[in-house]
Structure 1
């Protein structure tokens, strides 16, 4: 009788224990204080985003105004009549196509060389062992702290002696190699397990093959981040082209748009804002396409595996 009743008794005891146990706590449910803090946080983020986007909104709206309406008092955020012809006039009254072509050539070439040299040098610092590696890396990274203005004149004299001043090659040479790209890629490479490199060496792969066939495919987020940062920096660069590019046929879009500003009272700012709006379209497209990789690359480059 005991052998028959014991299973029933155990089930009954288990049922009683389940009835007496407290219900599970819903961890996703927020307390009133947490809900209030979240609402305040979202509100602050919306205000900050609006403050950042306000200048862009003003620029786009000003590009659709008449010349006399841009700086009217009181401020008119929206044009009374949308002057779409500003976007036609900026192409017909300026050498916009040449400016965009020169800027695009510089941005693409510099970005390609920055990614190539930065990722290759970073592999050597992250995965190879040689005497003085850490000291050399610190010295190389230390160049980030040196302002360009401190060696701008000697650099200009050097490039002038090499007969590349007033050519696009001058901008390419001064921007194609950067310590920031090496630092960013090295930090990401260190999150990749060393066992992959060791296994590849045992299989007979050279260091170049390991970098090309293993490291590069695994570091797409960091490569995308470096590509985006370099492209935007080169596209928006003004001081470098101002110093080296004196021929109007070599001007970038930044120098070309600056030529619209002769003085404060004799400038068609509506056309100028139309050109500025056109200049940010490539940057906006590239950022929208690569923002997921950009965020992932920045978030993981500071983590060591």
Structure 2
């Protein structure tokens, strides 16, 4: 014999509405939120859509009024012509070399310095960190000329070394990594010291493996900033064989005319490596920013 007991389970009442039922305003607010997000997304993507569209136009149709979002005729030959008009492969190689070298050095020096500011104790540590962090507020134009004179005296002007050495250290990278290191328990570091692990061993074998999201975030931000840098290569690099892709696209700017369609074509090509980096590191980038106190 079986006995079935049917019990009524009441859901807790929702404030402002009937028990167990969502409020009427929730759906409206959700719809408004989606509309705003879609509108912001369209606003952000619109310049990229125009850039791609312009890269497939004839030069005289780039700045038509009103804007022609769909080209009259698709000039696919622009993507073949640009490789013939300028040494684009060389420019892309120079940009990639500088971006990878500077990114590696900034991640290395930033993570190492951040470990000292976050997990070691020495007199004046916090004051020194605040002083170093304050350098972010100093505009680059304030020390641009002294830096150039320094590189000129060292004989490094018109070499990639000038850009690499000047950008190998960054206060923002130290700040980002330090914020992440503070989330790692100090007890783990003390246990490693008791086991006889050196400070360098703790940094290499404990801190770095536990901070992959922050490392990926710093690497992604540094790579994008270096890849898109225009003023640095413009000031320090004069030889054509050393130019980056951002400087190389200036070749289409003439005295009497400018080939805007080919500039847009080169811009689309130069965006692809950055887009690939974001797609590959998106998950780590979001985790690193969210857990580093930069939300």
Instruction: Report the secondary structure of 1:68's partner residue.
Output: helix
Query: What TM-score do you get using the length of structure 1 for normalisation?
Result: 0.90
Equivalents in 2 of 1:26, 1:293: separation in Å? 39
Shift of 1:73: 3.0
Equivalents in 2 of 1:62, 1:130: separation in Å? 57
1:297 aligns with 2:291: no
Q: Deviations over 1:264-286 (max 9, x none)?
A: x5112111110000000000000
Shift of 1:26: 8.4
Equivalents in 1 of 2:176, 2:145: separation in Å? 28
Of 4, 7, 10, 1:23 maps to 10
Instruction: Report the secondary structure of 1:33's partner residue.
Output: helix
Equivalents in 2 of 1:69, 1:243: separation in Å? 33
Aligned Cα RMSD in Å?
A: 1.8
Of 40, 52, 56, 2:44 maps to 52
Equivalents in 2 of 1:206, 1:234: separation in Å? 34
Unaligned runs of 5+ in 2: 15-19
Equivalents in 2 of 1:121, 1:225: separation in Å? 17
Of 140, 143, 160, 2:135 maps to 143
* Matching residue of 2:17: none
For residues 29 and 100 of structure 1, do their structure 2 counterparts lie closer, same or farther at Cα, with a shift above 3 Å needed? Answer: farther
Shift of 1:29: 5.5
1:278 aligns with 2:230: no
Equivalents in 2 of 1:271, 1:130: separation in Å? 56
Equivalents in 1 of 2:13, 2:138: separation in Å? 54
1:98 aligns with 2:85: no
* Matching residue of 2:168: 176
Shift of 1:262: 1.8
Instruction: Report the secondary structure of 1:259's partner residue.
Output: helix
* Matching residue of 2:186: 194
Do 2:86 and 2:251's aligned partners in 1 also have CA atoms closer than 8 Å?
A: no
Q: Deviations over 1:127-161 (max 9, x none)?
A: 00111111111111111111110011011001100
Q: Deviations over 1:167-196 (max 9, x none)?
A: 000110111100000000000000001111
1:230 aligns with 2:222: yes
For residues 201 and 156 of structure 1, do their structure 2 counterparts lie closer, same or farther at Cα, with a shift above 3 Å needed? Answer: same
Aligned length: 287
Q: Deviations over 1:60-98 (max 9, x none)?
A: 011011122212233211112211110000001101011
> Which 4+ stretches in 1 moved above 6 angstroms?
none
